[in-house]
Structure 1
Amino acid sequence: MTITIRAGGPEDTPLILAMLDSSVAWLVAEGRPGQWGTEPWSASPRAVEVVRGYATSGTPYIAETDGVPAATLTLSDAPGTYLEPAGEPERYIHLLASDRRFKGRGADAALLAHAAEVTRRAGVSLLRVDCYAGDDGKLVAFYEKNGFVRTETFTHGPDAWPGQVLAQRVR
């Protein structure tokens, strides 16, 4: 099994949406709809615009396993509008998702390592991400396993979505 990572662009919006849809279906099947709801992202015009916006203003990266798209994240210079910037140059990870057929094969971790390397090469020392902090905490633990440390909690939106910001210093 070979994992390769390529830079993408707005043209990858349908692929990113498909991975988000796969993640939503898996989360629902696991009884964990709190993270991203129960409906496919591709069925929501607002969600499609969010993905297209990140893919246009940031750089999507696609991890391919033996040539098949397996996971994605988008890297930008700032968090979403619901969080404050760090107060120093940073790179921010958005929309890490995978095609659940590739769960446990390392594509997500490879993308995080790639994001750290891209950040380092840009001369930026701070890489941040936020994620769902509800349910069993496995998502926060996943980021911690990949070198991130918790920095702040937050809630977002009318449903008080529980979030965790994590950071990694790259040198």
Structure 2
Amino acid sequence: MEIRPGGESDYTTVLSWFDEAVEWLVARGSEGQWGTEPWTGNPEREKRVREFVGGGGLYIGEADGIPVGALVLGERLPYTPPVDEPELYVVLLLTSRRRKGHGVGSALLAFAKEEATRRGVGLLRVDCWSGGDGKLVEYYRSQGFTPTVEVPVRDTSVQVFEYRL
């Protein structure tokens, strides 16, 4: 898989992956993460995707020249407790559901670890929805991340993880 910097031209693709993810989550009974409605057509969510693609931290994973996943690296999210050291934060990890099980997320996280090292940062953090069947939390554990704190966000909660480099 090749990983390239992303940008505004990736807007439609990234938005479509959010729609795929919502459909997939609803089918699994995990609508607590992002609800039941597609992101397409929701002005607030479309604005959020525009921020992802225009914010300078977007990377797109491609397999055979076809986009298959997105990674946004940046600063911690407002609900995440601060740390007393430099860090890099995985703001978004999103893959096409059509490529589920092909290691896209793992490759993007490996890239994030490499990028943190390249930047001279010893801490990589990420968070994920802690509800549902727990498979998302287990996924990050399987990628070498250690859970630190669970924090409330709106009407649910997220698990924050760290990876020491």
Separation (CA, whole Å) in 1 of partners of 2:90 and 2:157: 18
Structure 2 gap ranges (5+): none
- Give runs of aligned pairs for residues 66-85 of structure 1, distance below 5 A: 66-76=64-74, 78-85=75-82
1:41 aligns with 2:59: no
**Among residues 146, 158, 166, which one is paired with 2:161 in the alignment?**
166
Separation (CA, whole Å) in 1 of partners of 2:18 and 2:92: 8
Separation (CA, whole Å) in 2 of partners of 1:85 and 1:162: 17
Instruction: String of CA shifts for 1:6-29, please: whole Å, max 9, x gaps.
Output: 111233222211111111111111
- Give runs of aligned pairs for residues 119-138 of structure 1, distance below 5 A: 119-138=116-135
- Give runs of aligned pairs for residues 16-165 of structure 1, distance below 5 A: 16-76=14-74, 78-157=75-154, 159=155, 161-165=156-160
Separation (CA, whole Å) in 1 of partners of 2:130 and 2:13: 26
Separation (CA, whole Å) in 1 of partners of 2:124 and 2:161: 9
Structure 1 gap ranges (5+): none
**Among residues 4, 7, 16, which one is paired with 2:2 in the alignment?**
4
Q: Residues 87 and 116 of structure 1: is their aligned pair in 2 closer, same or farther, counting only changes over 3 Å? A: same
* Partner SS state of residue 12, structure 2: helix
Q: Which runs of 4+ in 1 moved over 6 A?
A: none
Instruction: String of CA shifts for 1:73-112, please: whole Å, max 9, x gaps.
Output: 1001x11222233232111112211111100001110000
**Contact 1:128/1:165 (<8 A) preserved:** yes
Q: Residues 87 and 50 of structure 1: is their aligned pair in 2 closer, same or farther, counting only changes over 3 Å? A: farther
Separation (CA, whole Å) in 1 of partners of 2:49 and 2:82: 20
One-letter code aligned to 2:112 = A
Separation (CA, whole Å) in 2 of partners of 1:148 and 1:119: 14
Separation (CA, whole Å) in 1 of partners of 2:52 and 2:84: 21
Q: Normalising by structure 2, report the TM-score.
A: 0.94
Alignment identity in percent?
45
**C-alpha displacement at 1:147, in angstroms?**
1.0
Q: How many residues align?
A: 165
